[in-house]
Amino acid sequence: METTQAQENITAMPRIGDKAPAFKAITTQGEINFPSDYEGEWAILFSHPADFTPVCTSEFITFAHLENKFAKANCKLIGLSIDGLYSHIAWLRTIKEKIEFKGMKDIEVKFPLIEDITMEVAKKYGMIQPGESKTQAVRAVFFVDPKGLIRAIIYYPLSLGRNFDEIYRALIAMQTSDKFSVATPADWNPGDDVIISPAGSCGVAEERMTSSNELKCEDWFFCTKPLNKEEVLDKILKKTKLLTE
């Protein structure tokens, strides 16, 4: 089936490794220029389908509750939905005044929530997936690094609330890879062994399998080493107490 230019514009998605598409937007915290306002820090740009909906409300309460934890990892949060500013303001006020979720209540969403009634930003980030909804953004999460590059992307359908522990784990894992030049295996968390880069020559492969050192090699191409949890957190997390704590 042929796709029209308009369809392509809606569904085109930026990819891992791309520069994050730039935009200026109105938010509940004033105007932002993305990603330039966030240079030097990580940013998580995420979309949700609509204000005043239950799954989204549970997600916003959870994310706002974790905002300081992300800030300590040098990461700012930015939300988006295809709603107007006044709807956003009314919804965030309702969340603070009335809604409790899993014991979290009186939650103030302090991070910016983008109004995107024109869908301009949602289209740039492929957040509209017409098979799922033509008018609401899916639950997209873009991890943008301090240089403005997209480093990871998660997409969930409308009905599925995201796992914020996984979003935090992915952020810390990517920062650990950057700081220690390692990769992280399945289900990695700080304190678990990390994977070192594959042997690039037969000599190194042989050495890895024969010499006794801190490496643990399942085979020449799969070697791990310990990386202390405190060392990871010490390098990544900010030491100063945040003003809002």
Among 4, 5, 159, 240, binds ligand BEZ (CB under 6 A): 159
Interacting residues of 139 by C-beta distance below 8 A, sequence separation 6+: 46, 47, 48, 49, 59, 155, 156, 157, 158, 160, 161, 162
Binding span for ligand BEZ by CB under 6 A among 23-31, 45-53, 145-153, 236-244: 45-53
The SS3 assignment for 106 reads coil
Among 26, 55, 66, 174, binds ligand BEZ (CB under 6 A): 55
Beta pairing class for 42-47 and 75-81: parallel
- In 28-127, where do the E strands start and end? 30-34, 42-47, 75-81, 113-115
Sign of CA dihedral 29, 30, 33, 39: negative
Among 35, 49, 126, 148, binds ligand BEZ (CB under 6 A): 49
Q: Using the rule CB under 6 A, is 28 a contact of ligand BEZ?
A: no
Site for ligand BEZ in 114-143 (CB under 6 A): 136
* Cα–Cα nearest to 67, from 46, 81, 53, 52: 46
Select which of 56, 75, 217, 223 is catalytic: 56
Q: Using the rule CB under 6 A, is 194 a contact of ligand BEZ?
A: no
Among 3, 19, 54, 221, binds ligand BEZ (CB under 6 A): 54
Binding span for ligand BEZ by CB under 6 A among 38-46, 50-58, 99-107, 141-149: 50-58
Q: Which is nearer to ligand BEZ, 123 or 139 (CB)?
A: 139
Distance CA 34, CA 27 (A): 12
Token pair 């959870």: residue: 62
Dihedral through CA 235, CA 44, CA 38, CA 126, nearest 10? 140
* Cα–Cα nearest to 204, from 190, 226, 227, 221: 221
Q: Using the rule CB under 6 A, is 56 a contact of ligand BEZ?
A: yes
H helices of 81-163, in order, are 85-98, 120-124
Q: How far is the CB of 155 from ligand BEZ (least distance, A)?
A: 15
Binding span for ligand BEZ by CB under 6 A among 24-32, 53-61, 120-128, 164-172: 53-61
* Per rule CB under 6 A, count of chain residues that contact ligand BEZ: 9
Q: Is 56 marked active-site?
A: yes
Q: How far is the CB of 158 from ligand BEZ (least distance, A)?
A: 4
Among 13, 26, 50, 99, binds ligand BEZ (CB under 6 A): 50
Do 171 and 43 form a contact (C-beta atoms < 8 A)? Answer: no
What is the set of active-site residues? 56
List residues near ligand BEZ by CB under 6 A: 49-50, 53-56, 136, 158-159
